Chains A and B, each alone.
Chain A
Amino acid sequence: MAEVRLEAIARECRVQILRMLAHAGSGHPGGSLSVIDILTTIYFGRLRHDPKRPDWPERDRVVLSKGHAVPALYSVLAKAGYFPEKQLITLRKLGSPLQGHPDRTMLPGIEAATGSLGQGLSISLGLALGLKLSGSAARVYCVLGDGEIQEGQVWEAAMSAPKLGQPGHPLDNLVVILDYNKIQLDNFVTKILDLEPVLTKWQSFGWPVVEIDGHDVPQIAKALDQAEATRGVPTFVVAHTVKGKGVSFMENDPEWHGKAPKPAEAIAGIREILGVTEGGWEDYLKTDSATRAIVDELVTLGKK
């Protein structure tokens, strides 16, 4: 039951991702759609947080290290109540707190500035260690991109994490999720710099590794629980995903890494996400006023 709810939220977030990217006219749909089931499961399934008190010291922390996927994070933060959903369409506009990449100082709910790849895991180590030193029970969730882990700093952190804080303050409050969508910016990961065998790499650095389908909510939730139950070391989750997941023409295509959908494309994508046929679309919209409003707004945008 809870899973059905999470899947419904993820669908709504996917719609918002396409909506805000179309309005922004630039940004990164592929990696936002691949990570959204992971983020929804974290935020609406496991995270201890209070959107009314974003600076609550005991809150769990989320670091989206692959910061270019921030539309996914904004959609989740809005749904959780950090800011109104109508603000989503200010993404990337001058003066908006919804920066093109996460800005901790401008938007409550963002834990770290990311966007320069490779830095999020180290910050997460520091957060996890600091929370442990303070005697806090809060947990840290860090999400990495697969291309991102080519950065050397990731491996410095990978080497450090199972050792850091031992023996008194091991970082078992940290779980790291790899959004393994097999595509980076220029091309498929195997064509640029293959990561394999990625599982055994992390294992050999001292991490317990869990392998899951990153679009399967029960599997994601189970992996997070397994991490929480693990004592003495942080946990690494390899989440197999599809870049552009949910929108057929974006799926598994490097072209959609960093290109915003045009309004008409966003509408086509939204229809697919909601599982409605082309023929049934007009009738469907009569029954769903929220989506109707989003679509009307996109139609207006397309006429500009």
Chain B
Amino acid sequence: MPAKASRAAFGEALLELGARDERIVTLDADLSKSTMTVNFAKKFPGRAFNLGIAESNMVGVAAGLALTGKIPFACSFACFVVGRFETIRISVAYTNANVKIVGTHSGIAIGEDGYSQMGLEDIACIRALPNIGIIQPADELETRQVIAHAVEHQGPLYLRLTRQNLEPVCPPDYRFQLGRWLVLRRGHDVTLIGTGGTVFNCLEAAKLLEKDGITADVINAACIKPLDDETLVRSVGRTGHVVTVEDHSIAGGLGGAVAETLADVLPMPLKRLGVQGFGESGDAKGLYAKHGLDPAGIAASVKKFLNR
């Protein structure tokens, strides 16, 4: 499979699923060309609603639709939709409305548009809410399965998608399961956990580390909530060191979730890699290098962490 953005895979999956399931509806806030629901809207115009630049209303309408048995996908950039936190908090999470919130353009990887368009605190916000799961697929194959799962899953979900293309990382026979992580590579010295676009970079970093005699477990943590504590503990119990890598604020994301879980069940040396401070404009490659999220940066942090 060639590299593909998870938002593009989402748009395609929705088109197929929508043909089979009439309950599926999409809601957008003037970003349907970017969230990739635009083809769904062309094929099923009666089931696609562009509510204008009004994300709070979109989230609320989605909740109402869910209460009548529809399966609404409420879509915008991650920052704008999760920015309507209080509406999500009450109308979706507390109401336990079966809304699938889709946040695209996550992370500094969007590059030139700069901080105001980057979803960087969305995981932290949604993690604090009961009832609602968080899934961030790592490639096209996984995205298709996650979307299919979201349709079947009863209850609200937050799906975090990328603008940029994602290299394939999951094996062809992979089957997504909620709350299950996928170990992509086995090693002895460190557990490297990525999510979404950083999974591929973790795999590349593991190759670099191997040249220096360091071997790593590499895990694809698509489910950030609930996370897979079994796989986490099993891997970290063996390697003794864990490094999390995410294109999200260093606070409250995957690294925060892993830190909280390990603190409860298996305190272990942990290094969190993520975005420090606000994001900014720039080319994605330069931004990843600056924040140490590219393979070389990850490998360097791992070596320093392991004192090697």
Contacts and interface: CB of A to CB of B under 8 A. Distances in A.
A100 B52 contact: no
Contact of B30 (A96, A101, A116, A185): A185
B269 interface: no
Contacts of A151: 53-54
Contacts of A192: 30, 50, 52
A206 interface: no
Interface of A: 24-27, 67, 92-96, 98-101, 103, 113-118, 147-148, 150-152, 184-187, 192-193
A100 B117 contact: yes
B64 interface: no
Contacts of B308: none
B30 A99 contact: no
Contact of A193 (B51, B56, B111, B283): B51
B114 A116 contact: no
A25 B286 CA distance: 16
Contacts of A118: 53
Contact of A101 (B80, B117, B287): B117
B55 to A, nearest CB: 8
Given A25-B112, A67-B116, 6 more contacts: A103-B280, A115-B113, A150-B30, A151-B54, A186-B28, A192-B52
B113 A100 contact: yes
Interface string B103-138: 000000001111111000000000000000000000
Nearest to B55: A151
Nearest to A94: B282
B281 interface: yes
B111 to A, nearest CB: 8
Interface in B15-31: 28, 30-31
Contacts of B114: 92, 99-101, 103, 115
A184 B116 contact: no
A147 B112 contact: no
Contacts of A147: 30, 52-53
A26 B280 CA distance: 15
A104 to B, nearest CB: 11
A115 B117 contact: yes
B164 interface: no
B66 interface: no
Contacts of B80: 116
Given A27-B112, A92-B112, A99-B280, A186 B290 contact: no
Given A67-B116, A152-B54, A193-B52, A99 B281 contact: yes
B30 A186 contact: yes
29 contacts: A25-B112, A26-B111, A26-B112, A92-B112, A92-B113, A94-B281, A94-B282, A94-B283, A94-B286, A94-B287, A96-B281, A99-B281, A100-B114, A100-B116, A103-B115, A103-B280, A115-B115, A116-B79, A116-B80, A116-B83, A116-B116, A150-B52, A150-B54, A151-B54, A152-B54, A186-B31, A186-B33, A192-B30, A193-B54
Interface in B67-84: 79-80, 83
B57 interface: yes
A150 B280 CA distance: 27
The listed residue with most A CB atoms (<10 A of its CB), out of B28, B33, B38, B112, is: B112
Nearest to B38: A186
Interface residues of B, number: 31
Contacts of B51: 193
A176 to B, nearest CB: 17
B32 to A, nearest CB: 5
Interface string B29-46: 011111000100000000
A92 B281 contact: yes
The 9 residue pairs across chains A and B that have the minimum distance between CB atoms: A94-B282, A115-B116, A193-B52, A100-B114, A150-B52, A92-B112, A94-B286, A100-B281, A101-B116
A93 B116 contact: no
B54 A99 contact: no
The listed residue with most B CB atoms (<10 A of its CB), out of A27, A94, A117, is: A94
Contacts of B290: 94
Contacts of B28: 186
A152 to B, nearest CB: 5
Contact of A117 (B32, B33, B53, B283): B53
Contacts of A67: 116
Contacts of A24: 112
Nearest to B110: A100
Contacts of A116: 79-80, 83, 116
B53 A95 contact: no
B53 to A, nearest CB: 4
A46 to B, nearest CB: 28
Nearest to A150: B52
Nearest to A195: B52
Nearest to B54: A150
Contact of B281 (A93, A114, A150, A152): A93
A152 B57 contact: yes
A177 to B, nearest CB: 18
Contacts of B54: 150-152, 193
A210 B51 CA distance: 28
B83 A93 contact: no
Interface string B275-289: 000001111001100
A184 B53 CA distance: 9
Contacts of B52: 147, 150, 184, 192-193
Nearest to A194: B52
Contacts of A150: 30, 52-54
